[in-house]
Amino acid sequence: MADSNEKLFSDFAPVTTEQWMEKVTADLKGADYEKKLVWKTNEGFKVKPFYRMEDLEGLKTVDALPGEFPYLRGTKKSNVWLVRQDINVVDPVEANKKALDILMKGIDSLSFRIDSKDLKAEVIETLLKDICAESVELNFSTCQRHVVELAQLLVAYFEKKDYDLKKLQGSINYDYFNKMLVDGKEKGDLVQTAKSLIEAVQPLPFYRVLNVNALTLNNAGAYISQELGYALAWGNEYLRQLTDAGLPATVVAKKIKFNFGISSNYFLEIAKFRAARMLWANIVASYEQHKTGRMIGGFSFTFINKQQPKEVTHSKAKKLTDKQIQFFANKLAHHDPFASQKAAVGESYADLEKRLVTELQDPEVVRKYADVLKELGLDV
């Protein structure tokens, strides 16, 4: 066995990138390097034929650790993956037999598709007979209009079986936007259903019930960057609507589950998952800051058309008193539709308010923000 302290390849002199390129250029015999060896992906990236350690210089991501923000290398320190199989429940007895069989063959995550007409306590009992819910991840889907009913049945079953609810992991596949994407029309009330669903699974802290099924986009031919971008916007819309309805961003985020597709383009797919974790972690963190007033991040996280502060024409620009300036600077700084557009990246509410105090001394600025100031109570 070789000495562990032996320096292998010590007889070979270091080779610079320039030397490698000289060799590549010579071997190309006049052919264009970019056209012959550089791969241009559908996402717009140029993939070189080789990379050196110097290509990693300045990249902060190389120091990322598993289980640490922004979770580039995973949300957990352990590298445990689950193997999942879907089962379409036609007959609960047969579905249970199949589940028990594949659990003995290495499956540790099950997904059951249950017809809404079969949402009964006895069906759930039959389906999960002899399956230890604490040892396997359980995922369920049904008609979108019956997801709350399904959640209530599952909680009742787990409580009846005296499970430690904090040890149970799984999901219920409620995806308002995927249904809209596939069918082309809205069905139901997103906020009302989502709030009821989150409330129903409150005893199950590790059950996720708001799904982002970006797999649909992947199967429809979306590029990796498109799937990622739309998925993040999709997840953000859950955050936006539900936080606007009064739920904390951290509560909503813990109930969201992303389901991505994956192609044979392995390295870019790995990059997609890493980017998804990092971007989503930053969205949730900045969104929470945005809502709680600790700091306004660099995102407004709103994908609907917001009403911008409009310039309006008045016969005479209004000059505010010092008291009015202080009052409306504070109001504007904490008015989310205005602040999310006006605040600089990283600017706190206090800093924005201080800047507005100076700006509002100018009557022309008051004219510019007349509509939003009127909305906040100023007689303009």
Rounded distance between C-alpha atoms, residue 130 and residue 30, angstroms: 69
Instruction: Dig out the tokens for 121 from the structure.
Output: 């306590």
Reduced to 3 states (helix: H, G, I; strand: E, B; else coil), residue 176 is helix
Beta partners for residue 113, in sequence order: 88, 141
pLDDT at 142 over 80: yes
Q: Which of 345, 317, 347, 315 is nearest to 333 (CA)?
A: 347
Whether the per-residue pLDDT at 309 is higher than 70: the answer is no
pLDDT digits (tens, 9 = 90+) for 213-266: 999 998 888 999 999 999 999 999 999 999 999 999 889 999 999 999 988 888
Please, what's the b/e burial string for 56-73 (b: 16 or more CB within 10 A of its CB; e: otherwise)?
eeeeeeeebeeeeebbbb
Kindly state the average pLDDT of the residues 77-98: 93
Q: What percent of the chain has pLDDT over 70?
A: 86
How far does CA 48 lie from the centroid of its chain?
Answer: 30
From CA 237, how far away is CA 304, in angstroms rounded?
9
Predicted confidence band at 311 (pLDDT cuts at 50, 70, 90)?
Answer: very low
Phi, psi of 261, deg, nearest 5 = -90, 170
CA separation for the pair 196, 215 (Å, rounded): 25
Contact by Cβ (8 Å): 186, 177: no
CA nearest to 352, candidates 330, 376, 328, 324: 330
H or E stretch including 23? helix 17-28
Note the pLDDT of residue 294.
Answer: 36
Dmax (CA) for the chain in angstroms is 91
Does position 89 have pLDDT exceeding 70, yes or no? yes
The pTM of the whole model exceeds 0.85: no
Q: Which residues pair with 257 in a beta bridge?
A: 211
Tokens standing for residue 220: 């429809």
CATH class as words, domain 84-292? alpha beta
Over residues 328-344, the pLDDT tens digits come to 888 887 776 676 667 66
Cα separation, 324 vs 330, whole angstroms: 10
Specify the pLDDT at position 338: 74
Taking a C-beta distance cutoff of 8 angstroms, is the pair 150, 140 a contact? yes
For residue 49, whether the previous peptide bond is cis, meaning omega lies within 30 degrees of 0, is no
**Sheet (strand 137-141) strand order:** 84-89, 109-114, 137-141, 170-174, 207-212, 256-258
Distance, CA of 210 to CA of 350 (rounded, Å): 34
Token pair belonging to 118: 């079969």
Closest by Cα among 276, 355, 255, 373 to 318:
373
Confidence category of residue 109, pLDDT binned at 50, 70, 90: very high
Once rounded to an integer, what is the mean pLDDT over residues 299-316?
38
Q: Is 12 exposed, middle or buried (0-12, 13-18, 19+ CB in 10 A)?
A: exposed
Could you tell me the residue ranges of all domains in the chain? 17-57, 84-292, 322-375
Percentage of the chain beyond pLDDT 90 is: 52
Least confident of 24-28, 341-345, 359-363: 341-345
